[in-house]
Amino acid sequence: MHATNSALAVSPNLGSAPRVFDLAVTPLRELNQALHSNRQGSNETQWEVLNPKGGHAISAGVDTPISVDIRGSVGYYCAGMNQEATITVHGSAGPGVAENMMSGEVIIKGNASQYAGATGRGGLLVIEGDASSRCGISMKGIDIVVRGNVGHMSAFMAQSGHLVVLGDAGDALGDSIYEAKLFVRGSVKSLGADCIAKEMRPEHIAKLQELLDRAGITDAKPEEFTRYGSARSLYNFNIDNAAAY
């Protein structure tokens, strides 16, 4: 990598010192290009982004085990397709945060807009505030922990992975859900088609405890949650269910 941007002048490659990108002076493309050029095993493991000001696709497509701290709120698709990196937004996130995340960890200190963690295949997304509509839509293996509430149509067509909500869930939770497991501590405004409350067996308590631990949540007990999942009645077309489609 070549020292072509002003951020490098502020933070030379010292290994432990974070590499700082101030988006008030450095173009976003330069930040993302530098993140994408980072190689496995690089000493540059700490990155910091200043003045994100709601910009789009900040730190999307990172694929190395680095840590990125974004100081402020971000716009669309932050940390999308993340692999291995730990990305922390010290603010709120716009639509599609951590969309299609593969692995690693994304932490939102504020609120997240619609379709957080959509289609995510792995890794952990922690939202410390509220998430709005369609959180975890079509999730395929990602684990999502929301400290606040989630909006309507969350976990729509969720295929696998876990969605943990410490607050309340909006309308149509888990509509047309497949095998994702949903845990909600508060109320659920309504359940979507084919989503039902299910028994919390010991393995679910253990899994939920593990997720809470990974999310650093110590003030909630797994026993306080209700598990929701698929009634599996829409998996195969049955003429008697036609009205439910």
Q: Which residues bind another protein (CB under 8 A)?
A: 53-55, 72-76, 92, 94-95, 110-111, 113-114, 130, 132-133, 151-152
Task: Work out how close the CB of 146 gets to another protein at its nearest, in angstroms, rounded to a whole number.
Answer: 14
If DSSP codes are grouped into helix, strand and coil, which group holds residue 127?
Answer: strand
The C-alpha atoms of residue 67 and residue 189 are separated, in whole angstroms, by 37
Q: Please check whether residue 173 is in contact with residue 191, taking contact to mean a CB–CB distance below 8 angstroms.
A: yes
With respect to another protein, which residue has the nearer C-beta, 104 or 151? 151
Determine how many CB atoms are found less than 10 A away from the CB of residue 4: 10
Q: Please check whether residue 147 is in contact with residue 166, taking contact to mean a CB–CB distance below 8 angstroms.
A: yes
With respect to another protein, which residue has the nearer C-beta, 89 or 211? 89
Determine how many CB atoms are found less than 10 A away from the CB of residue 27: 12
Task: Work out how close the CB of 174 gets to another protein at its nearest, in angstroms, rounded to a whole number.
Answer: 17
Q: What does the buried/exposed string (b/e) look like for 56-88 if buried means 16 or more CB atoms within 10 Å of the residue's CB? A: bbbbbebbbbbebbbbbbbbbbbbbbbbebbbb
With respect to another protein, which residue has the nearer C-beta, 68 or 150? 150
Task: Work out how close the CB of 95 gets to another protein at its nearest, in angstroms, rounded to a whole number.
Answer: 6
Task: Work out how close the CB of 27 gets to another protein at its nearest, in angstroms, rounded to a whole number.
Answer: 15
If DSSP codes are grouped into helix, strand and coil, which group holds residue 218?
Answer: coil
For residue 173, which amino acid is it? Answer: L
With respect to another protein, which residue has the nearer C-beta, 56 or 198? 56
With respect to another protein, which residue has the nearer C-beta, 96 or 104? 96
Q: List the structure tokens of 191.
A: 């359940």
Task: Work out how close the CB of 130 gets to another protein at its nearest, in angstroms, rounded to a whole number.
Answer: 8
